[in-house]
């Protein structure tokens, strides 16, 4: 399991682990050193005491006694110094000896044919070791706690420039031309290099946005002129008395397509100029009025394709709800266009509700794994169909985000899909 921590937490963890390692090594070293020194001193002490006792053993009255935590035994001795059988098998020198649950240090020495043993109880030594171990353990725990505290303090100081840089990036509008550079506020270290890289990246981003704005302005100017020529030419042709019915119908379709293209250009320009802010209201329209307008536009293309166009108005009092007309027309029109493009047989249904509207079709549908990507630019439902660039649903998503609407895509059974648009709380039309 990959557990992710913040950089500050990782600094504290590393600092604590390093301190724990160092403190642990020192603790083990202290315990081992004390144990070795204690054993060595015990060996010297027992050897000296045994030598003293052996010197006194030459006295015939046996009135000498070992220290209170020691026991002295002599082979072929008399009384309380007589050697028991379990001591006779001990080898000469210093060693540990266990009698039941009691542990002793034993010093064994042979003089001629006689063996002598001096035992020392280990309880006092074990008590000192337990005290030492407790002291070392408490010191280890305090060292780790102090390391964590110091690690937090040091991490806060180390991370202060990074946190400051993150705050400046988060709260400043860095895309503004007058936004100050960030690198000047920091030293020439890693954080300063990061701030400098951020300034350079923002500079390239500002340049790209500037080029995009110029491109948008140029496209607006260049497209409006030919669209105006097309619209004017269509008006003149429609006024020509010698135009037959078939030609008049085609000219009307060209006029409607020109009007739709002009509205689409206006929509793109409106979204580009808002730059993430909500577009101004401008011309407004209700959902039923816009639906009737688009049904009239799309009825002929849909029926010419052999499809059934179904219009259901299940809204109640939705006429008073007013929305941005160009954006509403673009959303509903693009969804109808998408349904017409990907449906070869069956029906297309536009349903109005109190919350918004939905567009259903019996077309080829969209696979579940591809539905989330359908609202991205240049993504199409069926790559085999050559028409379209895959921008319609992306435009729908951008408009819905701008207007605080929501659009959802669900699959229909046995085939087809359904796009549902929730328009939120409508605004009443001012009288």
Question: In this predicted model, which residue has the larger pLDDT, 419 or 153?
Answer: 419
Where does 280-428 sit in CATH, by number? 3.30.565.10
pLDDT value at residue 148: 85
Read off the pLDDT of residues 375-414 as tens digits, 9 standing for 90 and up.
Answer: 665 455 554 444 444 567 878 888 888 888 999 888 888 8
Q: Which of 386, 381, 391 is nearest to 411 (CA)?
A: 381
Q: What is the distance of C-alpha 410 from the center of its chain? A: 28
Q: Which residues contact 86 (CB under 8 A, 6 or more apart)?
A: 99
- Residue 412 near residue 362, CB atoms below 8 Å: yes
Q: Three-class SS of residue 348?
A: strand
Calpha distance 308→304 (Å, rounded): 10
pLDDT value at residue 384: 46
Q: Three-class SS of residue 9?
A: helix
Q: Is the pLDDT of residue 62 over 60?
A: no
Question: In this predicted model, which residue has the larger pLDDT, 369 or 2?
Answer: 369
- Residue 403 near residue 325, CB atoms below 8 Å: no
**Token representation of residue 370:** 């591809």
**Token representation of residue 271:** 């979204």
Q: Is the pLDDT of residue 66 over 50?
A: yes
Q: Which of 6, 14, 2, 13 is nearest to 162 (CA)?
A: 6
188 secondary structure, DSSP code:
S
Read off the pLDDT of residues 184-242 as tens digits, 9 standing for 90 and up.
Answer: 777 777 777 787 887 777 777 777 777 766 666 666 667 777 888 888 888 888 888 87
pLDDT value at residue 219: 67
* Interval 18-41 mean pLDDT: 87
Q: Is the pLDDT of residue 431 over 50?
A: no
**Token representation of residue 227:** 């669209």
Locate all alpha helices (DSSP H) within 57-116, ordered by sequence.
85-88
Residue with tokens 């105006």: 228
Q: Three-class SS of residue 31?
A: helix
pLDDT value at residue 359: 94
pLDDT value at residue 46: 85
* Interval 20-44 mean pLDDT: 87
Read off the pLDDT of residues 291-327 as tens digits, 9 standing for 90 and up.
Answer: 998 998 888 889 988 999 999 988 775 456 788 888 8
Locate all alpha helices (DSSP H) within 280-408, ordered by sequence.
287-304, 325-341, 392-403
- Residue 303 near residue 309, CB atoms below 8 Å: yes
Bridge-based pairing of strands 308-313 and 347-352 is: parallel
Question: In this predicted model, which residue has the larger pLDDT, 366 or 168?
Answer: 366
Task: Read off the pTM.
Answer: 0.48
pLDDT value at residue 111: 80
Average pLDDT taken over every residue of the chain: 78
* Band (253; pLDDT cuts 50, 70, 90): confident
Q: Which residues contact 42 (CB under 8 A, 6 or more apart)?
A: 94, 105, 120, 125
Q: Is the pLDDT of residue 348 over 90?
A: yes
Locate all alpha helices (DSSP H) within 240-286, ordered by sequence.
245-274
* Residue 110 phi, psi dihedral angles, 5° rounding: -110, 135
Could you give the percent of the chain with pLDDT greater than 70? 78
Read off the pLDDT of residues 80-103 as tens digits, 9 standing for 90 and up.
Answer: 677 887 788 888 888 888 888 888
* Interval 165-174 mean pLDDT: 68
């Amino acid at each position: 399991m990959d557990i992710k921590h913040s950089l500050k937490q990782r600094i504290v963890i590393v600092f604590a682990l390093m301190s724990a390692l160092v403190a642990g090594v020192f603790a083990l070293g202290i315990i081992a050193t004390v144990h070795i020194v204690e054993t060595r001193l015990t060996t010297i002490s027992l050897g000296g005491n045994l030598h003293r006792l052996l010197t006194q053993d030459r006295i015939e009255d046996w009135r000498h006694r070992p220290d209170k935590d020691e026991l002295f035994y002599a082979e072929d001795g008399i009384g309380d110094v007589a050697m028991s059988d379990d001591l006779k098998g001990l080898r000469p020198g210093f060693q540990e000896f266990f009698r039941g649950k009691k542990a002793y240090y034993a010093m064994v020495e042979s003089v001629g044919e006689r063996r002598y043993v001096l035992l020392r109880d280990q309880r006092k030594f074990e008590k000192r070791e337990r005290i030492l171990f407790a002291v070392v353990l408490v010191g280890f725990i305090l060292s780790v706690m102090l390391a964590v505290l110091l690690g937090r303090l040091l991490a806060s100081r180390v991370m202060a420039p990074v946190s400051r840089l993150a705050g400046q990036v988060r709260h400043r509008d860095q895309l503004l031309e007058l936004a100050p550079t960030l690198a000047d506020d920091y030293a020439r270290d890693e954080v300063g290099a990061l701030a400098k890289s951020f300034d350079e990246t923002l500079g390239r981003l500002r340049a790209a946005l500037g080029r995009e704005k110029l491109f948008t302005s140029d496209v607006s100017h260049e497209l409006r002129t030919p669209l105006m020529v097309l619209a004017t030419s269509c008006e003149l042709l429609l006024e020509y008395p010698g135009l037959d019915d078939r030609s008049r119908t085609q000219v009307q379709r060209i006029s409607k397509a020109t009007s739709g293209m002009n509205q689409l250009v206006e929509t793109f320009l409106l979204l580009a100029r808002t730059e993430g802010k909500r577009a101004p209201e401008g011309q407004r329209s209700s959902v039923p009025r816009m639906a009737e307008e688009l049904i009239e536009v799309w009825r002929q293309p849909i029926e010419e394709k052999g499809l059934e166009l179904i219009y259901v108005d299940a809204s109640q009092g939705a006429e008073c709800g007013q929305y941005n007309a160009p954006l509403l027309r673009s959303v509903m029109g693009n969804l109808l266009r998408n349904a017409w493009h990907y449906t070869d047989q069956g029906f297309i249904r536009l349903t109005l509700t109190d919350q918004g509207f939905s567009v259903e079709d019996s077309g080829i549908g969209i696979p579940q794994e591809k539905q989330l990507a359908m609202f991205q630019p240049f993504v199409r439902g069926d790559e085999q169909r050559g028409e379209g660039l895959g921008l319609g649903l992306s435009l729908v998503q951008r408009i819905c985000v701008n207007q605080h609407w929501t659009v959802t895509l669900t699959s229909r059974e046995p085939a087809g899909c359904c796009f549902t648009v929730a328009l939120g709380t409508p605004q009443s039309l001012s009288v």
